[in-house]
Structure 1
Amino acid sequence: MTETLHSAFVELAAKSPDATAVHSEAGLLSYGELDRRSRELAEELTAAGAGPGVPVGICVERTPDLLVGILAALRSGACYLPLDPNYPADRLTFMVEDSGTRLLLTTPASRAGCPPGPTVLVLDGEAVSTEPGAKPVPVVPEDTAYVIYTSGSTGRPKGVAVRHSGCVAMLAAMDRVLEGCDLSGVAAAASVCFDMSVMEIFNALCRGGAVVLVESAVHLPESRYADRITHLNVVPSVMNGLLDAGALPPNLRTVVFGGEALRRKLVDRTYRETGVTRVFNAYGPTEGTVFCSFGLVPEDSAEEPTIGPPTEGALVYVLDEQRRPVPTGTPGELYLGGAGVAHGYLNRPETTAERFLADPFQPGGRMYRTGDVVEFTEGGELRFLGRTDHQVKLRGYRIELEEVEARLTGCPEVREAAAAVRGNRLVGYVVPAGDGPAPDGPRLDAALQGAVTARLAAELPDYLVPATLVVLPALPLGPGGKLDRNALPEPPAAEAGGPLTAPGTPTEIALSEIWGQLLDLEPSGIDVQAAFYDLGGDSLLLIRLARLMTRRFDRRVRVPDLFSFRDIASLARWLDEDEGATPEVVQSARRRAGARRAALRARPAGDRPATDS
């Protein structure tokens, strides 16, 4: 009987050990090999103190070792805490300390970026000073499977502790909805710090399919196994970019949208321009275990997509302010009950009590208050209408604007701050600190932008760093003296600062060609001192820019690097100058990228990427 997130994988590995479980740039891995390596590592983790309720940090790049580590943590009885090696060190340190993590799995390539404190076990060949052979403690359905940190309205991220039973219920519901869909190549493109990754990995490995590991959805065209991908989970805004670039895998047949509002125009385009035969739209907060509603979006319809009907086993309530059910077609707040409701927020009893409530409709049950406003349609599906608070979604990531605002006001250059999403970019609004003259109206300030962005980029994941900073004389207030978010202005256009500074050096010319390609501009007419966002760029184009620069210059370029160097002139200097002259954050990024490449080159030939027969 399947009772845990990983038990179906263990059963399948015993039946079909030679079947391919993982495709990645670092090589292939069979079910049997993944089973053996994760079992042996689980024994080492148990000997080191892993067990039920013990978080095991997973700070591993996107190689098969990532899946080995996740499965080993689960098989040891522990829960896994995903730690993206590309996150700022301060963010990773906070997550480790806040969760009480004492054990951490990593690889030689990512070890340098791991936060201090936990006992570190290194995958990929380095000796581990523990005694293998310890028998893991059996896992029960109510144990915690993983902890994922989400943006927090208090300015601190909060860890959501998700149960095995919720994961099993989610996978069972997906079985029925996705019946007949080809899972032989499920793209694993979401960050492990985003709960979509749970469905990508385990929907494949617990159903006999294969995981195709890619850096992100934007990197799909670069995957040597792109033609193996049949199933893709993706954010609508990213899908638009992939369609624009003609970059979807040729054998893709199923697309699951989630994380943002889905429009009929994109659905029609997906069916029309690709070989996709099934488009689904899904919804669910981390606190409800990935998805709680999921539905097929038909091809022959003119109606805007809903977020689907509730998944089987999910208890969905649409309630008024007195927590009474509202009639069909009437807006109300969405509450979730059933097996998918998480334990709560790790070490946050007060916040847990505010959001996780007794279920008045199920004696002894619990329900989660989502803050989302929805309505039931006559057909029993859910239509998303908005939020009751200031939470937003950008590229599928959940952002509490209060967290961004708290970080902004923590900068010594800022007295007051607000944040909002405009198009595909996060915009910060600040009132400068100090005694200088206040601006007459909204304006951009490159010096302030550089100072504040550098500080935030060292503390926050890139999706939480405002792409544009608007300086205001004062924040707009409503009649009650509270911030009037609707009155926050659109970012002003960058002012011409004199004659155009045209590309001059070979690197500037190469960069201007890439920018021109992305922004549909004539390369010779691009001012090398103009910021990417000011020329019409957005967060999705920024991801593509990082990918294209990596390919063009044969150097790993990450989105955080593009926050540090915002125009062609500074980017060109960074690319051309010696490592010793670069900021420490960039030196660190280069060292990690070099270590990853060296680790891959040092692997035995059998573990390196090879021609797939």
Structure 2
Amino acid sequence: MSDTLHSAFVEQAVKSPDAPAVYSDAGVLTYDELNERSRALAERLVAEGAGPGVPVGICVERTPDLLVSILAVLRTGSCYLPLDPNYPAERLAFMVRDSGTRLVLTTPASLAACPAGPAVVVLGEAVRTGAGERPVPVVPGDTAYIIYTSGSTGRPKGVAIHHGGCVAMLADMDRVFAGCDLSGVSAASSVCFDMSVMEIFAALCRGGAVVLVESAVHLPDSRYADKVTHLNVVPSVMNSLLDAGALPPRVRTVVFGGEPLRRKLVDRAYRETGADRVYNAYGPTEGTVFCSVKLVSKDGSGEPTLGAPSPGVRAYVLDENVRPQPAGVLGELYIGGPGLAHGYVNRPRTTAERFVPDPFRDGELMYRTGDVVAFTEDGELRFGGRADHQVKLRGFRIELEEVEARLTGCPEVRESAAVVRDNKLIGYVVPEGDARDGVWSNAALQSAITSRLAAELPEHMVPATIVFLAALPLAPGGKLDRAALPEPPAPASDGPMTAPGTPTEIALAEIWGQLLDLEPTGIDVHAAFYDLGGDSLLLVRLARLMTRRFDRRVRVPDLFSFRDISSLAGWLDDDSGAAPEAVTSARLRAGARRAALRGRAAPTGR
């Protein structure tokens, strides 16, 4: 078996050159086409300075060019740094700066999203194909990719994963998915999420095809949805797909990951789809995608476990004194083995805190996951929660401390807290300065905060709702009492309902009504999408539908700037070409002046 990700793909391309490798709305690539395009691009990247130990950023939209780019970077011996073009510019700039990336690969469509500083190679420009690809020595210990995760210090941290860990993961996938149909593996995860590695390479290294889509919620819109036989999905997204009756018809294998899985959803997946295998997969980024994968039986009962640790994975359930816990007793999960990451990029102290010596294996390290689990009597792991304030939302790992650091960094905020409730991220703030003195209205303050965060954080880390408090609840010891944070108040109405009136408002109401199952004429143009029952998954679909309807690119961050139909319609009808942030800032300043003249009370009660 090959000892690197790209060599495993190349071997497969030689075996089946004419087989389809990638399906996407932008077209289909065979193995030979994908192999040749990535080989030619690798030559150019080497000429531009790529090579062993050199991180190369990939800022490419979700087209076949994305897979060409990943394979090309790996073939040079470099490691790839995924840079989602939809991420805020500040976030992308930090990742490039922190990782020391000096070369970024992009396309004309994503060029504007590239951070300033590094040299840029644009796909589509002339690529010289020389006499042949020069062999680049790559060993299993070389870094294959760097993925940035949310950080408890308020800064994201890059996890460096090596080829050897990836190859070990793929070998385990061979064992788990033996007999499964890999002819159409869905690739709907952002490349900034490590499940994307399994989605792409479990297919390409074994002769299957990747069905590339924007996200899982866009799967029903894909022209190749009927090619999907193997679906990787987080539970919350699966519920949405089932609710919409939008699961591809040929799906036979469903792999859940990224969130706790409940038996109720397993039963529903078996009952409402053609799937004959449903798996529960678990693993932190630091352990290379998955540490355990459990086939959940169709006729079982009780909540699914995480399964037994994968072969080669060392799993320990330890107490606070690093002593093993007996079966049935909760403790923190520590993992070790060939998939363990090198550590965090430029974070020696954090690396030393999380990657600690394994007391049971001389000279080996183990990773403190922060997950609370217990071994069952038959050696499987049962999830029991978190030992810290890390949460999962749509499969993305979020450190609440990072969200709180960004909230408190807003000039209008004195203190803040964040929690996840009903699959929504809720922010709690104690206003500061002018906000407490009544210059801002609640609506203007919420818009100011969410617009600022949308410019700094990925959309899954922007609170859906901001709750204003006079003070944060504290436990007797003086620490924040998260359990005492109140439920978000029901949306208040400042007056009679305002029905959609302009053509743009009417068109938006039709889209909202379709997504929220509401009568369009009954939607108040001043009601926020989240207040009407929307969530982050529906927000992604809303951006897609608006882009199609208005022939204008609408991003999820734009929907944080304009949260109701009235403001959205004003932005869409604005012919000035102003950026959402500029339009929002001008309207907020005007709103603040009006509020001050009216003498509105400070938003300290909610």
TM-score bin (small chain): over 0.9
Task: Name the CA shift for 1:299/1:569 in 2 (closer, same or farther; >3 Å).
Answer: same
Equivalent of 1:556 in 547, 553, 557 = 553
Using the TM superposition, give the Cα deviation of residue 84 of structure 1 relative to its aligned residue in structure 2, in angstroms. Answer: 0.3
Q: State the partner residue of 1:21.
A: 21
2:407–2:416 contact (8 Å) kept in structure 1: yes
Identity %: 77
Q: Is the 8 A contact 2:40 2:127 kept in 1?
A: no
3-state SS in 1 of match to 2:105: strand
TM-score by length of 1: 0.92
Corresponding residue of 2:188: 189
Q: Specify the SS of the correspondent of 1:384.
A: strand
Distance 1:8 1:553 in 2: 44
Query: Would the alpha carbon gap of residues 276 and 436 (structure 1) be closer, same or farther in structure 2, given more than 3 Å must change?
Result: closer
Give distance in 2, aligned partners of 1:536 and 1:219.
20
Match in the other structure for 1:598: none
- 1:424 to 1:132, Cα distance in 2 relative to 1, 3 A: farther
Aligned partner of 1:396 in structure 2 is 395
In structure 2, C-alpha distance between the alignment counterparts of 1:305 and 1:509, rounded to whole Å: 45
Q: What's the counterpart of residue 314 of structure 1?
A: 313
Query: Structure 2: which amino acid aligns with 1:317?
Result: Y
- Counterpart residue identity of residue 228, structure 1: K
| Alignment of 1:538 onto 2:535 | yes
**Other structure's SS at 2:5 match:** coil
1:246-265 matches, within 5 Å, as 246-265=245-264
Larger displacement relative to structure 2 (337-346 or 515-524): 515-524
Distance 1:130 1:81, change over 3 A: farther
Tell me by how many angstroms 1:128 deviates: 6.1
The residue correspondences of 1:161-180 to structure 2 (distance < 5 A) are: 161-180=160-179
Instruction: Summarize deviations over 1:120-145 as a string: whole Å, max 9, x none.
Output: 11112x13699886734310001101
Any residues of structure 2 matched to 1:124-163 within 5 Å, and which? Answer: 124=124, 126-127=125-126, 135-163=134-162
Q: Distance in 1 between matches of 2:265 and 2:436?
A: 47
Q: Tell me how far apart the structure 2 counterparts of residues 225 and 130 of structure 1 sit (CA, whole Å).
A: 31
Distance 1:127 1:584, change over 3 A: farther
The residue number in structure 1 matching 2:599 is none
Corresponding residue for residue 570 of structure 1 = 567
Structure 2 unpaired stretches of 5+: 585-606
Most deviating of 183-192 and 42-51:
42-51
Query: Normalization by structure 2: what TM-score?
Result: 0.93
Q: Secondary structure at the match of 1:6?
A: helix
- What SS does structure 1 have at the residue aligned with 2:108? coil
Hey, what's the Cα distance between the residues in 2 that align with 1:438 and 1:471?
Answer: 13
Task: Write the letter of the residue equivalent to 1:476.
Answer: P
For residues 346-495 of structure 1, what are the structure 2 equivalents within 5 Å? Answer: 346-434=345-433, 437=436, 445-495=442-492
Could you list the per-position Cα deviations for residues 529-568 of structure 1 after superposition, in whole angstroms to 9, with x for gaps in the alignment? 0111112222122222223323333333221111111001
Amino acid at match of 2:60: V
Would the aligned equivalents of 1:44 and 1:132 in 2 still touch at CA under 8 Å? no
Q: Deviations over 1:256-281 (max 9, x none)?
A: 00011111111111111111111000
Give yes or no for contact 2:391–2:400 (8 Å, CA) kept in 1.
yes
CA distance in 2, matches of 1:437, 1:218: 40
SS of aligned partner of 2:239 = helix
Distance in 2 between residues matched to 1:14 and 1:246, nearest whole Å: 39
Q: Aligned with 1:429: secondary structure?
A: strand
Q: How does 1:238-317 map to 2 (within 5 A)?
A: 238-317=237-316
Take 2:299 and 2:489, find their aligned partners in 1: how far apart are those partners? Answer: 41
Aligned to 2:10: 10
Contiguous gaps of at least 5 residues in structure 1: 588-613
1:5-84 paired onto structure 2 within 5 Å = 5-84=5-84
Contact preservation (8 Å) 2:403, 2:461: yes
Provide the C-alpha distance between the structure 2 equivalents of 1:479 and 1:12, rounded to a whole number of angstroms: 62
2:40–2:133 contact (8 Å) kept in structure 1: no
- Structure-1 separation of matches of 2:163 and 2:430: 46
- Equivalent residue letter for 2:347: R
Counterpart of 1:594 in structure 2 is: none
Report the count of equivalent residues. Answer: 583
Report the secondary structure of 1:455's partner residue: helix
SS of alignment partner, residue 569 of structure 1: helix
SS in 2 for 1:357: strand
Residue type of the alignment partner of 1:142:
G
TM-superposed deviation, 1:101: 0.4
Q: CA RMSD in A?
A: 1.9
- Alpha-carbon distance between aligned partners in 2 of 1:501 and 1:134, rounded to the nearest angstrom: 64
CA shift digits 1:462-491 (9 cap, x unpaired): 111111111100111111111111111111
Q: Structure 1 residues 436 and 137 mapped into 2: Cα distance closer, same or farther (>3 Å)?
A: closer
Distance verdict in 2 for CA 1:378–1:162, change over 3 Å: same
Report the alpha carbon displacement of residue 581 of structure 1 after superposing the two structures with TM.
4.4
How many angstroms apart in 2 are the aligned matches of 1:192 and 1:435? 41
Distance in 2 between residues matched to 1:552 and 1:305, nearest whole Å: 42
C-alpha offsets along residues 488-520 of structure 1, whole Å, 9 cap, x if unaligned? 111111111011111111221222222223323
Asked if 2 retains the 8 angstrom alpha-carbon contact of 1:121 and 1:128, the reply is no
The equivalent of 1:110 in structure 2 is: 110
* Residue aligned with 1:420, SS: strand
